[in-house]
């Protein structure tokens, strides 16, 4: 901060009165260094500016001492000039030769082999498989054991309707426009205490207004799950592996802290098919992952 002396400041008076009066303009008061209570320093310096006016500059600085002991030989080598093919490279790593690889988790352990095997056929995956074993594909039109799209009565009969929408885990057709909002509402309201945005309250009817943009524009949103209470140690790939069981996952976003690289505790998973998302939402909510219990719900639209 620099203020021309012409605007005389009352704060300067006590120090400056005698000095400015007594000395010529070429004679400047010595710089001052005052330690403040909070550990910072105030440095006051005086100089003459281009117009011959005396200028007082006050700076507040904090000194942080970070001591790094470096071998003098190593320190000397850090100043060496580059040569050979690297001669033209600017200081610092050149991006064409030096890149940073993906994070690798390496924790030595006595029984790492056993752990690796466990990860390969995850016990949870096994449990999930057992659970899904007696689930059968069910047609929404005729309740037969085939996909709705393959139903022989597809053209002649209307879908059974609400029954089908509620029984999402049993499989649904691919008409998000027809069954979309109601089932999202059902899924949202089905969980006690979970927040249901106004747009989705009261099921399909209320949501109709939002859907003016056409069913494709928000299709992505409908198939996106928000996963919260994710372990700090989680990796995107692990989440992908977990959710891939339910269908094709198009996008996994795991929020990470920029500095530490640790997960922030929530993630978004987008499915290619909304039905898979519904399935995953139902099955993975309350799933124990690492040391925490996952909370899975449909991502709410940004306002």
Which residue in the set 16, 28, 44, 94 belongs to the binding site for another protein (CB under 8 A)?
94
Give the β-pairing of 292-293 and 32-35: unpaired
With contact defined as beta carbons under 8 Å apart, do 223 and 270 qualify?
yes
Q: Which stretch binds another protein (CB under 8 A): 94-102, 163-171, 209-217, 274-282?
A: 94-102
Angle of CA points 276, 223, 189, to nearest 5°: 90
* Interatomic CA distance for residues 245 and 124, integer angstroms: 11
Which residue in the set 11, 34, 48, 86 belongs to the binding site for another protein (CB under 8 A)?
86
Decide if residue 83 touches another protein (CB under 8 A). Answer: yes
Reading the block at residue 148, the tokens are 């709705």
Angle of CA points 247, 291, 124, to nearest 5°: 40
SS3 annotation, 199-224 = HHCCCHHHHHHHHHHCCCCCHHHHCE
Which residue in the set 98, 121, 156, 260 belongs to the binding site for another protein (CB under 8 A)?
98
Which residue in the set 7, 50, 63, 106 belongs to the binding site for another protein (CB under 8 A)?
106
The secondary structure of 245-256 as a DSSP string is: TTS-EEEEEEEE
Decide if residue 108 touches another protein (CB under 8 A). Answer: yes
Decide if residue 84 touches another protein (CB under 8 A). Answer: yes
Decide if residue 103 touches another protein (CB under 8 A). Answer: yes
With contact defined as beta carbons under 8 Å apart, do 266 and 227 qualify?
yes
Decide if residue 193 touches another protein (CB under 8 A). Answer: no
Decide if residue 71 touches another protein (CB under 8 A). Answer: yes
Which residue in the set 21, 22, 110, 302 belongs to the binding site for another protein (CB under 8 A)?
110
Q: Of the two residues 24 and 99, which places its CB atom closer to another protein in the complex?
A: 99
Decide if residue 231 touches another protein (CB under 8 A). Answer: no
Could you say which DSSP state residue 170 is in? Answer: G
Interaction site with another protein (CB under 8 A)? 71, 73-74, 77-78, 80, 82-87, 89, 92-94, 96-104, 106-110, 112-113
């Amino acid at each position: 901060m620099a203020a021309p002396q012409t605007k005389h400041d009352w704060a300067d008076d006590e120090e400056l009165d005698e000095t400015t009066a007594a000395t010529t303009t070429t004679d400047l008061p010595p710089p001052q260094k005052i330690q403040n209570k909070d550990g910072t320093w105030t440095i006051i310096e005086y100089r003459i500016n281009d117009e011959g006016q005396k200028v007082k500059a006050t700076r507040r600085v904090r000194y942080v001492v970070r001591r790094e002991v470096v071998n003098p030989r190593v320190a000397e080598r850090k100043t060496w000039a580059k040569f050979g093919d690297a001669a033209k490279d600017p200081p610092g790593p050149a991006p064409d030769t030096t890149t940073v690889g993906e994070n690798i988790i390496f924790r030595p352990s006595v029984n790492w082999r056993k752990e690796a095997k466990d990860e390969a056929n995850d016990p949870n995956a096994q449990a999930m498989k057992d659970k899904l074993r007696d689930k059968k594909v069910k047609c929404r039109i005729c309740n037969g054991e085939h996909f709705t799209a393959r139903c022989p009565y597809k053209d002649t009969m209307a879908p059974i309707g609400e029954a089908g929408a509620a029984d999402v885990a049993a499989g649904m057709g691919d008409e998000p426009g027809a069954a979309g909002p109601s089932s999202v509402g059902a899924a949202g309201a089905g969980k006690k205490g979970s927040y249901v945005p106004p747009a989705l309250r009261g099921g399909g009817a209320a949501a109709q207004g939002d859907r003016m943009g056409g069913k494709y524009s928000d299709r992505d949103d409908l198939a996106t799950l928000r996963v919260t209470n994710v372990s700090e140690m989680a990796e995107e790939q692990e989440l992908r592996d977990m959710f891939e069981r339910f269908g094709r996952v198009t996008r996994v976003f795991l929020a990470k802290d920029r500095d530490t690289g640790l997960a922030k505790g929530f993630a978004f998973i987008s499915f290619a098919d909304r039905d898979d998302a519904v399935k995953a939402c139902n099955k993975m909510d309350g799933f124990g992952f690492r040391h925490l219990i996952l909370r899975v719900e449909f991502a709410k639209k940004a306002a």
